[in-house]
Structure 1
Amino acid sequence: MGSAYQILGRTYQPHQLALATIGLLTLVVMPNPFAKKQPKVVEIKGDSKEEEQFIKDYLRKHQS
C-alpha cells in the first residue's frame, strides 16, 4: 500500500480522508431540508386607507 496517516492513534488511508472531507463539506453547505419555511409577507402601504383596501381586494381577487 501507499502512505497512511496516523490520526488519534488510528491509521487512515488518503482516500478515506478525502471521502470524509467531501461528506463533511456536503453536510455543511447543504441547506436544512427540515427547516420550517416562513411564507413571505408583503407589507402594503398606500397613501390612504381606501388605496390599501383596493390593493388588498385586488390581490385577493386575482390570486391564483
Structure 2
Amino acid sequence: MGGSYLIAGRNVPSHYLAITTLATFGLGIFAVSKRMKSKKPDTPPINASSADEEAFIKEFIKHAEEEEKKKEHH
C-alpha cells in the first residue's frame, strides 16, 4: 500500500492518518455549522417610556412574527 509512521511505538499506516484527518476536519465543520444554526438572533433592547408602550411593542413584534411564519408556510 504505502508507507507507515511510527507513532507512540506503533506502526500506523499513512491511509489511517489521512482518514483520521479528514474525519476530524469534517466533524469540526459539522459542529460549527450546528452551533450557528442553533443561535437565536439577538433582538435589540426595548427602550419604552412606559410599561404600556413596552407591552404594545412586544405585542406588535409577536404579531409580526406570527404573520411572517404564516407567509413562510404558504
List structure 1 runs of 4+ shifted beyond 6 angstroms.
none
Identity of aligned residues (%): 30
Runs of 5+ consecutive residues of structure 2 not aligned to the other structure: 67-74
Runs of 5+ consecutive residues of structure 1 not aligned to the other structure: none
Higher-Rg structure is 1
Greater fraction helix: 2
What CA RMSD, in Å, does the superposition of the two structures yield over aligned residues? 2.8
How many residue pairs align between the two structures?
60
TM-score (normalizing by structure 1): 0.57
User: Mapping of 1:16-31 within 5 angstroms?
Assistant: 16-31=16-31
TM-score (normalizing by structure 2): 0.53
